[in-house]
Structure 1
Amino acid sequence: MEFVVYLAGEIHSHWRDEIKERASEHRLPITFVGPMENHSRSDEIGEEIIGEQHNSIFKDEAASKINNFRTSVLMNKSDIVIALFGEKYKQWNTAMDASSAIALNKPLILIRPEHLHHPLKELSNKANVTVESVEQAMKVLRYIFDQE
């Protein structure tokens, strides 16, 4: 049995690589998908596809539509969603993706540091599992495959 896991969250750090490496080390049959991790390409994709826009608002709107399309397609194809709330960056996209996973009834593992418990308490309550680290999220994934 193989799973598709959507990795939602900020695209500036290497947390996805850590998850992929650990899954590979444990030989877990998982395919990982997620948002465009090349930040410049994500910001420029609207103009890359439909041409130059009149101003930065239109440019952002064009890119957002295409990025949201990508997220919708890949999340709908996923079996599990992992959403990471990191320490450094604004987390609006993570909150949106986690909420989308809940609305789609996708099993959701929420990773958030303890100090974000209060601001994320409702979201955490709706997630299937809430953990504080990538390592804990990996233990949850590995448990799916345990036989004993």
Structure 2
Amino acid sequence: MSFTVYLSGEIHTDWRDEIRRGATARGLDVTFTSAVTDHEASDAAGDALGPESTGYWRDHKSSLVNSIRTRNLIEKADLVVVRFGDKYKQWNAAFDAGYCAALGKPYVTLHAEDIIHPLKEVDAGAQAWATTTDQVVDILDYVLKA
């Protein structure tokens, strides 16, 4: 069995690489996709459409352009992993989780225990809540090999 897994959320740590390495080490047939993780490139995604007078409109255009990629990759994924880090609020990750819930797309949240309360609704819609990347790899291993 093969799987496509979309990795959503926090972009300031190497959690995506940890999951990829773990899946490779276990010989899992997984294709990983992700949002653009270069913050500056993501912020500039709409710049080709012309300059804006305010940050709001620049962000708005860029979010629309970014959503082309995000929506398509989430819709094509078999599973989405949504990572919430502790340094920044990942509103985009919460949106991705809500999009998964609306589509009936399975998702796993990945975050520390100290932010359970603000993520209670997001976690309630998830098929699992993991606190480590190893747990995510364990889930993939089970789903693909059971």
Report TM bin, short chain: over 0.9
- Contact kept, 8 Å, 1:112 with 1:130, in 2: the verdict is yes
1:22 is aligned with what amino acid? G
Aligned to 2:46: 46
The TM-score normalised by the length of structure 1 is: 0.93
Take 2:119 and 2:35, find their aligned partners in 1: how far apart are those partners?
22
After TM superposition, give the deviation of residue 53 of structure 1 in Å.
2.3
Aligned to 1:139: 138
The TM-score normalised by the length of structure 2 is: 0.94
- Contact kept, 8 Å, 1:10 with 1:93, in 2: the verdict is no
Take 1:56 and 1:114, find their aligned partners in 2: how far apart are those partners?
34
2:72 is aligned with what amino acid? V
Structure 1 consecutive aligned stretches of length 4 or more whose deviation exceeds 3 Å: none
Aligned to 1:125: 124
Structure 2: segments with no counterpart, 5+ residues: none
Aligned to 1:8: 8
- Contact kept, 8 Å, 2:51 with 2:58, in 1: the verdict is yes
2:8 is aligned with what amino acid? A
After TM superposition, give the deviation of residue 11 of structure 1 in Å.
1.4
- Contact kept, 8 Å, 2:10 with 2:83, in 1: the verdict is yes
Structure 1: segments with no counterpart, 5+ residues: none
Instruction: Give identity over the alignment, percent.
Output: 39
Aligned to 2:96: 97
Take 1:65 and 1:138, find their aligned partners in 2: how far apart are those partners?
31
1:69-127 per-position Cα deviation (integer Å, ceiling 9, x unaligned)? 21101101111000011111112111111111111111111112111111111221111
After TM superposition, give the deviation of residue 52 of structure 1 in Å.
2.2
* Root-mean-square deviation over aligned CA pairs: 1.2
1:132 is aligned with what amino acid? T
1:102 is aligned with what amino acid? A
1:46-71 per-position Cα deviation (integer Å, ceiling 9, x unaligned)? 01x32222332221111010111211
Secondary structure of 1:81's counterpart equals strand
Secondary structure of 2:45's counterpart equals helix
Secondary structure of 1:145's counterpart equals helix
Take 1:76 and 1:145, find their aligned partners in 2: how far apart are those partners?
19
Take 1:30 and 1:50, find their aligned partners in 2: how far apart are those partners?
35
Take 2:81 and 2:43, find their aligned partners in 1: how far apart are those partners?
23
Aligned to 2:78: 79
